[in-house]
Structure 1
Amino acid sequence: MHIFVFSYNRGPFLENCIASIEACAPQCRLTVIDDGSDDPETRQVLAGIAERHQVIDKTAHSAHKLGGLYANMQAAYEMVANDELMCFLQDDTQMVRPLTEGDLQSLRQNFDRQPDLGFVSPAFVRGFSLRKKANRDFRFDRERDFWFWYPRKRSTGTWFSALLIADPRRLRQLNWQFEVGESVNNRKASQMFCRMARMRVPFAMWLPNGRAYRGKQKSLALRFGEWSRHCGLYPLQLMSTAEVEELANCEPARLPVAEDFLRLVHGKVPTPWVYDPMQGAGWLKLLDRMERKVRSAFA
């Protein structure tokens, strides 16, 4: 498997992510694609990583709030070989358990025997997805050996997520191209593949209460959200062998909710965990959009 990590100006987060991959998946190829970071600390971290792994500096321009993420995903997809799976992670994520040869073989076999399988999520389920009854409908397909999500009101994340595992051969056979925006890719994937599969025992997760950028910027609203939530770097502990085996073998299969199985290395954050400083604060999101529009008008 070829693991790609997408990065922008979050040096300590990137350092934590890379350390987790080196500890949990040393057998995998690793490439960091950075979206033009200009923060000195991040540049220093990137230089250190470049001594051990491939680092590519992409400065793709995009008006989308996530900057050049999707352009860089497309670049990674074009780089990967047909004979290897690809896995996309981001600098505010990390691996939480060892990725074994058995895991890789199982993923390859699942792609081979399930011709409609497009994307597999390597991530645990976020607890806030279960707060509303309409979002709780996760079902385990024993024949496929995956969880699938059947939300009643919203579909983003149902067929596609930016954290993914895919077989590039299959995507190329169907002329897949990554578009700008998760909702656009979600709609596209819904026309080509089955719902996004979710592993019985995931191996990666977003860090809770992390810092964020939108369009490579931090608005006053975003900064206030980070301050009020005490956002920072909260690494996750690696799961023990016993914890992994318990999740893999429990009957009936248990939904892998992050808060149920993962623990922080240090610090405390409220549950359910949040992953966006403005999550659940509509007024902050409105102020953020207004500020970015004003900046664009005078740019």
Structure 2
Amino acid sequence: MTAPRMDVAIFSYNRGAYLKNCVESLQRNLPGVHFTVYDDGSDEPDTVAYLQSLGGHVRHMKSGGDERHGGYYNNMQAALDATQADYLLMLQDDLQVVRPFAQEELSRIHEVFEQSPTTVFISPLFMKGSKRAYFQQRYQADTALRCYRWSADPQETGKVPQKYADIAVLHVARLRQSGWQFAGSEEANGVLADQLFGDMVQVAEPWVFYVPEEPAYRGRVLTFGAKLAVKMAGNQVKSFRDMTAQASTAFAQRDLRVYPFAEDFVDTVDPTVRKPYKFNAYRTRWLPLILNKLELLGRRLWSH
């Protein structure tokens, strides 16, 4: 049997330093993996220069025009259509691969897919420490396949992440056989996945996480509040230190009752970054948060 192959797609827009951090972490920890950056029309000079340095690894996409997400979901569809691999890892430019990923781990992912014929999405993400109780309640360990499976609450109606999440390893053939076409939001894709597939699976040894306090675009622009927050935070990528080989081995051998919360296993290079980690820089300080909300509200009122 031929060993399964995984491609990587990275979705990018005007965050050159974050994209560089993402790509370099991928090259360190998954050396030799085939990756493609799908850039949604970046025009910020440093981002453009870095994209040029990647040469043939970049596909320059024309935005689909979705107000909130630009061409993100159209670009995800393009990545799915283009890959020739068995599995496709979907990343965003504000993510980092934080530990070495070994071939046997891909074999384990393959085994999970084989033993779960209705599964098409597997999460590679560490769990967020800010949601400890939620994740511990919603995920139960499958010790035979060494993964976590969703434990549904009949009171919940949302299908993210029970059925779908934007950051995932995709089973390419099953998606194509279903006629899958990405919808325009994570929530809409969750509803579609609920109609077609079984539950999403969480890996026991994740290898990807969000870089904290990143600049978050809305409608392809940074609000004034987001810009202020980035400036107040120091305008530097809050990157992670890679897990050592020893730490990674211990992580892989732990009891699955110890959930993979990022804050327990992954540290930032800058020790002053607060835990639990916060995402979207404007959420870390009250003034940028208020300004961001006011601007987004004003945009919605103006559009009507």
Q: Give the TM-score of the pair, scaled to structure 2.
A: 0.88
1:173 correspondence with 2:180:
no
Which of 223, 234, 237 does residue 238 from structure 2 map onto? 234
CA distance in 2 between partners of 1:62 and 1:14 (Å): 22
Structure holding more helix per residue:
2
The 1:276–1:224 alpha-carbon spacing in structure 2 relative to 1, beyond 3 Å, is same
1:147 correspondence with 2:148:
yes
Q: How many residues align?
A: 292
CA distance in 2 between partners of 1:11 and 1:177 (Å): 28
> What letter is aligned with 1:58?
M
CA distance in 1 between partners of 2:104 and 2:214 (Å): 32
Q: 1:62 Cα shift? A: 2.6
Q: 1:252 Cα shift? A: 4.0
CA distance in 1 between partners of 2:233 and 2:57 (Å): 34
CA distance in 1 between partners of 2:272 and 2:194 (Å): 38
CA distance in 2 between partners of 1:266 and 1:283 (Å): 26
Greater shift in the superposed pair: 194-203 or 138-147: 138-147
CA distance in 1 between partners of 2:121 and 2:67 (Å): 23
Which of 156, 160, 165 does residue 164 from structure 2 map onto? 160
Q: How do 1:1-299 residues align onto structure 2 when only pairs under 5 Å count? A: 1-50=6-55, 53-81=56-84, 83-130=85-132, 133-134=133-134, 136-137=136-137, 138-150=139-151, 152=153, 153=156, 155-227=159-231, 232-279=236-283, 283-284=290-291, 286-293=293-300, 296=303
Q: 1:194 Cα shift? A: 2.4
> What letter is aligned with 2:194?
S
Deviations 1:7-53 (A, max 9, x none): 00011111111111111112311101100000000000001111xx5
> What letter is aligned with 1:114?
S
> What letter is aligned with 2:71?
G
> What letter is aligned with 1:261?
F
C-alpha contact 1:211 1:277 (8 A) present in aligned 2? yes
CA distance in 1 between partners of 2:113 and 2:50 (Å): 35
C-alpha contact 1:35 1:69 (8 A) present in aligned 2? yes
The 1:290–1:166 alpha-carbon spacing in structure 2 relative to 1, beyond 3 Å, is same
> What letter is aligned with 2:294?
L
Deviations 1:94-128 (A, max 9, x none): 11111211111221222122101110111100111
The 1:39–1:296 alpha-carbon spacing in structure 2 relative to 1, beyond 3 Å, is farther
Q: 1:134 Cα shift? A: 4.8
C-alpha contact 1:200 1:247 (8 A) present in aligned 2? no
Helix, strand or coil for the counterpart of 2:274?
Answer: coil
Helix, strand or coil for the counterpart of 1:191?
Answer: helix
CA distance in 1 between partners of 2:124 and 2:75 (Å): 19
The 1:230–1:171 alpha-carbon spacing in structure 2 relative to 1, beyond 3 Å, is same
Q: Give the TM-score of the pair, scaled to structure 1.
A: 0.89
Structure 2 unaligned segments of length 5 or more: list them. 1-5
The 1:135–1:256 alpha-carbon spacing in structure 2 relative to 1, beyond 3 Å, is closer
Greater shift in the superposed pair: 262-271 or 146-155: 146-155
> What letter is aligned with 2:261?
V
C-alpha contact 1:209 1:231 (8 A) present in aligned 2? no
Helix, strand or coil for the counterpart of 1:293?
Answer: helix
CA distance in 2 between partners of 1:121 and 1:134 (Å): 16
Helix, strand or coil for the counterpart of 1:88?
Answer: strand
